[in-house]
Amino acid sequence: MDELNDRFKKSAENFSLIPSDGIWKNVETEIRRRERKRRFIIIFLTGAAILIGGLFLFINFSDKHPELQKNNPAGSVQNAAQENISVKKDYPEKENAAIPQVSAEIKNPVNSKTVPQIKHQATFISVTEDNNVSEPLNPKPSGQNNSIINNPTTSQIISDEITTSSAASISIKTDSIVANAKDTLETKAVKDSALAAKSDTIIPDTLIALKDTTQTPAQKSKWSIVIGIAPTLSFSEQQEDGDYQIISNYRDSSDNTLLTWNYRFAVSYRFIPRMEVFTGIGVINFSEEILSKQAVYRYDTNTIIVGPSPTIIVSRGYFNINGDSTGTARNKFSWLEIPIGVCYDFFPDHKLNISLQPEASFNKLMSADGYIYNYETLIYEKIKVSDLKSWQVSYGIGISFQYAILKNLHFEFTPFYKNFQNSIYDDPYPLKQHLQQTELRLSLRYIIK
């Protein structure tokens, strides 16, 4: 027995066949495709990580310096100019000075009729030479307009009540600030919750005015329009129903889809500060390459021979497209998209915002061009629109990174995933092809005043 086996084993080791030329071409194409896909994923993830990291840093930084947030009235510096009020925000490094959250100087005295009666409280926290922060001093009676007492050795806490309706020019200045007081203040503010609470509630007089009277267009306006384009990668999962199965299609449609572009125009309505609903119209494109050489296996379940293992008769055939067994054919599909969705903002009224965008779309087939396989005749035929479903429903979700270029113009970058609910092919067709897409939407949002 072993002699026969050894004979065949030895022959097998020496046996070789020359492969066809097209095989290496196909292998190489698949290698390149996987490299491109890997590179795209790495670039996408790196970009997303940089964006998210930058966003967190920006938000953390701007939280510590709220005056830097353009759309945040509490932090607005530039808006002060609109009210003829300048706000100086600096921390000169001087010793023995009180540390205000902000120093405000009203340059132009205004009539009390035009300036709203605003009361504010400026609280200064004392930092002694040994960097101990003490409790605020008792507030002085209102009416005093020169409220800083300078102590040459220590800074003093001064609480004052100032009414800005006076026509007199009021100047609140700090003479000096301990060199590292800012850092110390922040450290102490973290450690001492009471002090931290106090620092959080400090609202300089000018900024109170701004908060009361100034609103960004984003808060006022509820309507906006969005125009966007999206480079799109498609994936389609194929399944075979019933008695038919494509086996040898190793370069199946899901692995050989082409980059396409999707387009969208949408209108959104903000019904609560953090959420808006949108709808619109768009175009979805899908393009794939299919091998012109396919193998199809058919299981004929009518002739099953029962034995130790069930026996199923299989028929198989190879076929060509237009006589070419080595090339590829390209299928292209387009749908008109009607999306409906909501947008939830995590950081509304910030210069940089992140929002979550789930949506559902109704898609109407507009065009189909390419080849479809006939499982009965085992040949490819030109696709007809009637071979595909006329209407499709798709679901998707995306995370949008929005940057306010101007007050009413935002740029949005939205990685988006979309999934078609049903096969793009109509029901009698045994091949089921479910389409999925990932888009990198680049949009401009105009907030209507």
Partner 1 sequence: MSVIRNCLNDSELVKECLKGKYDSQKLLYEQYAPRMLGVCYRYASSREEAEDFMQEAFITVFRKLHQWKGEGELGAWIRKIAVNTSLNNIKARHRFLESSNTIPIDQIPDNRVMQDQGNDSMLMELVHQLPAGCKTVFNLYAIEGYSHEEIGKLLNIQAGTSRSQYLKARRLLMQKLNPELTIKLNSDRHG
Do the beta carbons of residue 292 and residue 329 sit within 8 Å? yes
Among 46, 171, 311, 421, binds partner 1 (CB under 8 A): 311
Please identify, among the stretches 15-23, 159-167, 375-383, 434-442, the one whose residues bind partner 1 according to the rule CB under 8 A. 15-23
DSSP string, 279-347: EEEEEEEEEEEEES-EEEEEEEEEEEE-SSS-EEEEEEEEE-BTTBSS-EEEEEEEEEEEEEEEEEESS
Number of residues that bind partner 1 (CB under 8 A): 41
Residue 379 C-beta: closest distance to partner 1, Å: 17
**Does 1 participate in binding partner 1 (rule CB under 8 A)?**
yes
**Does 248 participate in binding partner 1 (rule CB under 8 A)?**
yes
- The radius of gyration of the chain's CA atoms, rounded to the nearest angstrom, is 35
3-state secondary structure of 171: strand
Do the beta carbons of residue 283 and residue 337 sit within 8 Å? yes
**Does 247 participate in binding partner 1 (rule CB under 8 A)?**
yes
Do the beta carbons of residue 160 and residue 122 sit within 8 Å? yes
Mark 44-83 with x for binding to partner 1 (rule: CB under 8 A) and - for no binding.
Answer: ----------------------------------------
**Does 302 participate in binding partner 1 (rule CB under 8 A)?**
no
**Does 31 participate in binding partner 1 (rule CB under 8 A)?**
yes
Token pair of 7 as six digits = 């004979």
Among 141, 152, 308, 323, binds partner 1 (CB under 8 A): 308
- CA-closest candidate to residue 224, choices 263, 269, 273: 269
* φ, ψ for residue 236, nearest 5 deg: -130, 125
**Does 19 participate in binding partner 1 (rule CB under 8 A)?**
yes
Please identify, among the stretches 60-68, 126-134, 305-313, 407-415, the one whose residues bind partner 1 according to the rule CB under 8 A. 305-313
**Does 15 participate in binding partner 1 (rule CB under 8 A)?**
yes
Give the count of beta carbons closer than 10 Å to the beta carbon of residue 207: 27
Distances from the Cα of 175 to the Cα of 53, 64, 148, 163, 222, angstroms? 39, 24, 9, 22, 45
Question: Which residue, 9 or 220, has its beta carbon nearer to partner 1?
Answer: 9
Residue 363 C-beta: closest distance to partner 1, Å: 33
**Does 168 participate in binding partner 1 (rule CB under 8 A)?**
no
Question: Which residue, 294 or 334, has its beta carbon nearer to partner 1?
Answer: 294
**Does 316 participate in binding partner 1 (rule CB under 8 A)?**
yes
Question: Which residue, 86 or 325, has its beta carbon nearer to partner 1?
Answer: 325
**Does 250 participate in binding partner 1 (rule CB under 8 A)?**
yes
**Does 193 participate in binding partner 1 (rule CB under 8 A)?**
no
Alpha helix positions (H), 15-129: 21-64
Measured between alpha carbons, how far is 431 from 246 in angstroms, rounded to an integer?
A: 9
Question: Which residue, 168 or 305, has its beta carbon nearer to partner 1?
Answer: 305
Question: Which residue, 25 or 191, has its beta carbon nearer to partner 1?
Answer: 25
* φ, ψ for residue 322, nearest 5 deg: 55, 35
Question: Which residue, 295 or 397, has its beta carbon nearer to partner 1?
Answer: 295
Do the beta carbons of residue 440 and residue 231 sit within 8 Å? yes
Using a 10 angstrom Cβ sphere, with 0-12 exposed, 13-18 middle and 19 or more buried, the burial of residue 242 is exposed
**Does 314 participate in binding partner 1 (rule CB under 8 A)?**
yes
Measured between alpha carbons, how far is 437 from 429 in angstroms, rounded to an integer?
A: 22
3-state secondary structure of 356: strand
**Does 310 participate in binding partner 1 (rule CB under 8 A)?**
yes
**Does 378 participate in binding partner 1 (rule CB under 8 A)?**
no
CA angle 199, 212, 198 (to 5 degrees): 10
Question: Which residue, 20 or 377, has its beta carbon nearer to partner 1?
Answer: 20
Write the DSSP symbol of residue 138.
Answer: P
Footprint on this chain of partner 1 (rule: CB under 8 A):
1, 4-5, 7-9, 11-12, 14-20, 23-24, 26-28, 30-31, 34-35, 245, 247-248, 250, 295, 297, 307-316, 318
